[in-house]
Amino acid sequence: MAGLAALIDFLSGGHGVGVSAAISALGVGVGAGAVLGGLFAGALRGLQRLPGWARVLAWLVIGGGLTAWLMDQLGVIARFGGKDHADAVVAAVAGLGAGLGLAVLGLIAQPSMDRPAWLSWTRRRPLWAGPGLVLLAIGLIVADRQVAVDNYAAAHTALRVMAVLMLAITGVAWIRYWPRRLRPPVWGRRVLAGLLALPFVWALVVVGGDRDVLAGLLGRPFSSLSLRTLRSLGDIDRDGYSFILGGGDCAPFNAAVHPFAREEPGNGIDDNCSLGDAPVDPPRVDPPIPDTPPPTSVILITIDTLRADHVSWGGKRNTTPEMKKWSESGTRFIRAYTGGSWTSLALSSLFRGVYPRRLVWNPFYETNRFRLLRSSEMDQLDDNEMLKLKFGLPAPEKYVPLQTYLKRRGMYTAAVIDDGSTGFLDLSTGAYPDFDEYHEVSGKALDVAVTDAAIKILDAQPKDRPFFLWAHYFGPHGGHSWHRGVPRWGNSVAGKYDHEIAWTDKHVGRLLARIDELAKEREIAVVITADHGESLGAKRRTHGVGVGEDDIRVPLVVRGPGFAPGTTSKQLVSTVDVMPTILRWTETPAPEGLDGRDLAGILSNPASNKNRTLVAETWRFTANGDATHNMIAVFDGTFKLVCNLLDEGLAARKQQGDKPLPYGEPRIERLQEALDAYLERTGPPNFVD
């Protein structure tokens, strides 16, 4: 049954990679089904001799174990009472249902020493109970494909396993209706088992060396579940990676060496199973500090969760008329991308001019009361307060942020921040040092407050003192409410999202108008961009769980020296380019090793940007440090290569529309080289207490 599910699921995904791939899909399904069936049948046989009450108790305990595992994996308890309370209740009910469902499945399939399983007590029972199980299995499959597709991996695993078990139990019960003359003899069943083993052996040989087949298997739910199940058997050293079926573990008996390990340069070991041992990097040298004053002041405006195709010059609705009008005095970059698909990664990357994985991260833990605690503050948990998530905020050890260089130049540095309820930008974290003034707004009408505070700071600046101001708006992020004076586009998820954008645009427009007035008397350069985009579903919005175009493509408008007014650029650029651009404006020498490039230099010499590849990524961790998401996208404007580091899965795509394509495209090979080089110098997120 697992083999058929994997094969049908794989073929329905439209992966046109031939008979070999189909046999591989069948093979991994058969192998995983043998494992799952062996475990389930072993439990049935082991409990067969127990009295009836003990069998019931045993299956309730097994079901309870599944419930406890799901509760832990989904972080249900820590989410009660917070903004995710409703989701936590749904997850808790689903977890209890899964546990009870497994117990019921075990009991109806459980034989005793003197009678068959409940489902097979009579010849009629499978006829009326079997269709019910099949319908339930179909319902679980539909839920797996429709509900929270990019989240809650453990829940989706449980849905798939339960569906296969229901179908398999029903199939075994229905076999009793076959006439005895049609049932294969013992030798026939052994031959059939041997034939089923052939595609499994084929998969062991083929899958690891064919990236297209591997991407296809990992891209579909049932074939992916089967592949991961078999890989767990090949993870001998329990480091999370297998040496079979494309798992990539080059040292199956050494838990310190695997594809997700950090490459230690010069130690003589290929720690991450790629490109050999990395050479030792030369020491970094801080750039000199000029004696001359900066020629211009700079304002950076970032808007949380604003995707590029929902602004007036990139979408179908006039959501940002104020910014559109203002952008006509600068340069619009219509192919701009973030370095990370959620705020912690995106803004940390923007302010340091490098992609997130290059940074050193201080670990922080979010509690169910939305407080952020360092590792050293765990003793400060209040009663009934629990850890929910682990994430990082950048440490200053390796890459110095933009405002530090500007402050060294003698510029006055100020920030006005609306951080919502996340705490990522809280001054106490130390992630954003060296601002002379750091104002965190609070209360209601926060977009209004950001603009008011930013204008107040601007008006207080002497004309002879260059300054750097960062204003961060949170409006489009979430927490929808209706606002007077801006358009409405209905009650859909996209309509409410656009309404929030329009509200933020109204108040960004007030700030831009004041900037224009001040710019008549002094040189002021301006950058407007977003930290990341947003994925809009039928019922909810998400970001930070993937690296699709909706999540990573952002608006970018620049006005200042080197940027012709009223122009639109199709150059492929990134938010990591903001830092070197501002450093160039202020005549501040840039540090070594930046991933970003001066945007004015790109416009003046487009050939220098012709073969550029960009990186965008995301990762998320549970409170105990287990990764739930860990993805990197490398792209060149036409093609994209997405790597899921949790399972070494690779997916090649056409960038526009995120459409799948065969891995063998030559430019995909170039992206593979760029991905390997990036991981060789970075590895997993580097958390340092």
Q: Residue 487 falls within a domain, yes or no?
A: no
Do 597 and 679 belong to one domain? Answer: no
Q: Of the candidates 340, 373, 394, which is a domain's last residue?
A: 394
CATH code where residue 319 lies: 3.40.720.10
670: helix, coil or strand?
helix
Does the pLDDT at position 188 exceed 90? no
Packing angle of the helix pair 221-234, 211-218 (nearest 10 deg):
110
Do 521 and 664 belong to one domain? Answer: no
User: What is the CB neighbour count within 10 angstroms for residue 671?
Assistant: 22
Do 223 and 302 belong to one domain? Answer: no
pLDDT band at 189 (very low <50, low <70, confident <90, very high): confident
In this prediction, residues 131-150 reach a mean pLDDT of 83
Residue-wise pLDDT for 15-69, tens only, equals: 556 788 888 889 999 999 999 989 999 999 999 889 989 999 999 999 999 998 8
Residue-wise pLDDT for 556-611, tens only, equals: 999 999 999 999 999 999 999 999 999 999 999 999 889 999 999 999 999 999 99
The mean-pLDDT minimum among 217-226, 371-380, 666-675, 678-687 falls in 371-380
Do 36 and 118 belong to one domain? Answer: yes
Distance between CA atoms of residues 425 and 528, nearest Å: 18
Distance between CA atoms of residues 61 and 515, nearest Å: 66
How confident is the prediction for the chain on average, in pLDDT? 88
In this prediction, residues 428-453 reach a mean pLDDT of 90
Q: Are 380 and 364 in contact (CB under 8 A)?
A: no
Q: Residue 274 falls within a domain, yes or no?
A: no
Q: Residue 54 falls within a domain, yes or no?
A: yes
Residue-wise pLDDT for 519-540, tens only, equals: 999 999 999 999 999 998 878 8
Do 422 and 567 belong to one domain? Answer: yes
Domain span holding position 138: 2-229
Partnered with residue 303 across adjacent β-strands are: 473, 530
Q: Residue 214 falls within a domain, yes or no?
A: yes
Q: Residue 257 falls within a domain, yes or no?
A: no
Q: Residue 475 falls within a domain, yes or no?
A: yes
Q: Of the candidates 566, 592, 609, which is a domain's last residue?
A: 609
Do 331 and 210 belong to one domain? Answer: no
Structure tokens at 247: 């798992």
Q: Which of 62, 77, 2, 67 is nearest to 32 (CA)?
A: 2
pLDDT at 542: 86
pLDDT at 16: 58
In this prediction, residues 198-203 reach a mean pLDDT of 91
Do 69 and 156 belong to one domain? Answer: yes
User: What is the CB neighbour count within 10 angstroms for residue 615?
Assistant: 26
Do 216 and 336 belong to one domain? Answer: no
Give the list of residues 6+ apart from residue 662 with CB closer than 8 angstroms, or none. Answer: 16, 17, 212, 652
Q: Of the candidates 582, 609, 636, which is a domain's last residue?
A: 609
pLDDT at 658: 79
pLDDT above 70: percentage of residues in the chain? 97
Do 181 and 319 belong to one domain? Answer: no
Does the pLDDT at position 625 exceed 90? no
567-569 vs 573-574, strand pairing mode: unpaired
If one compares 440 and 156, the residue with the highest pLDDT of the two is 440
Residue-wise pLDDT for 663-678, tens only, equals: 667 788 899 999 999 9
What is the sign of the dihedral through the CA atoms of 566, 572, 575 and 578? negative
Q: Residue 497 falls within a domain, yes or no?
A: no
Residue-wise pLDDT for 306-344, tens only, equals: 999 999 998 889 999 999 999 999 999 999 999 999 999
Domains in the chain, number: 4
Residue-wise pLDDT for 246-259, tens only, equals: 888 999 999 999 98
pLDDT at 82: 65
Q: Are 323 and 311 in contact (CB under 8 A)?
A: yes
Give the list of residues 6+ apart from residue 463 with CB closer than 8 angstroms, or none. Answer: 521, 522
In this prediction, residues 162-169 reach a mean pLDDT of 88
If one compares 209 and 294, the residue with the highest pLDDT of the two is 294
In this prediction, residues 677-683 reach a mean pLDDT of 90
In this prediction, residues 473-489 reach a mean pLDDT of 88
Residue-wise pLDDT for 444-467, tens only, equals: 778 999 999 999 999 999 988 999
pLDDT at 597: 97
Structure tokens at 405: 């260089």
pLDDT band at 10 (very low <50, low <70, confident <90, very high): confident
Rounded to two decimals, the pTM is 0.88
pLDDT band at 112 (very low <50, low <70, confident <90, very high): confident
Do 32 and 175 belong to one domain? Answer: yes
Q: Residue 112 falls within a domain, yes or no?
A: yes
pLDDT band at 179 (very low <50, low <70, confident <90, very high): low
Do 42 and 171 belong to one domain? Answer: yes
Do 603 and 508 belong to one domain? Answer: yes
Range ranked top by mean pLDDT from 355-364, 396-405, 478-487? 355-364
pLDDT above 90: percentage of residues in the chain? 47
Rounded to an integer, what is the distance from CA 283 to the centroid of its chain?
32
Element (H, E) at 30: helix 18-47
The DSSP-derived string for 455-503 is HHHHHTS-TTS-EEEEEEE-GGGS-----TTS----SSHHHHHHHHHHH
Counting beta carbons within 10 angstroms of the beta carbon of residue 11, is it exposed (0 to 12), middle (13 to 18) or buried (19 or more)? middle
